[in-house]
Structure 1
Amino acid sequence: MVVLAALSAAAVPNGKSPAKKLLKLTEPKYSTELAYNALADLRSLEVLMHLFALFPSERILLCTGDKDLALFWAGIRASDFAWQGTYFQCKFSPVEALLPNVTQERLASYFSG
């Protein structure tokens, strides 16, 4: 997800990607604290996805006041959460606005195993 966020932050023109704010790349003095916070935000989404896979029949949610985290989550359109042996897997189907002007072939190469 870090790579997906970085791609989105770089690909969306005029700094309008929620990933850019999620990664705290809009801050004038980037620090290790900001980087840690950005990674913790992304980790919370990873934990959420793992919980969806572990407890598929339960209603699980992540409450946040971080608009950019919520927009990024909605934008990646994660689905099909499952465990394959000892590995977690899911499917990402990002909306066009998250990775604009990316061909279907390139998009498929980003998410192929």
Structure 2
Amino acid sequence: MTITWQDFEKVDIRIGTIVKAEIFPEARKPAFILHVDFGSEFGIKKSSSQITDLYSIEQLNQKQVMAVINFEPKQVGPIMSECLVLGFYRKDNSVVLAINDLPIKNGSRLL
């Protein structure tokens, strides 16, 4: 499917730093609840992420991640997911996070 540049511009992908990760015991599939800091303009947003196969809570602490921040919030069990942290599926269905290779200011937009 081909999209226009205007379609792409509607997707707001920002960089943020995980300031807290915790086990999401109520999730149907193993998941973490991530608290991601997108800077003073957007604040801290929560996300449910099924990334437990490849990441531990300790590995996620202070990791910068890319996320879509302009989806409508979605109720996921007892939490309201406020952003979609981006990643890629591997053949074994584990998820590899979409991350940057150098530090970037929280809240910076993907261009």
TM range (shorter): under 0.3
Point out the structure with the larger helix share.
1
Give the TM-score, by structure 2 length. 0.27
Point out the structure with the larger strand share.
2
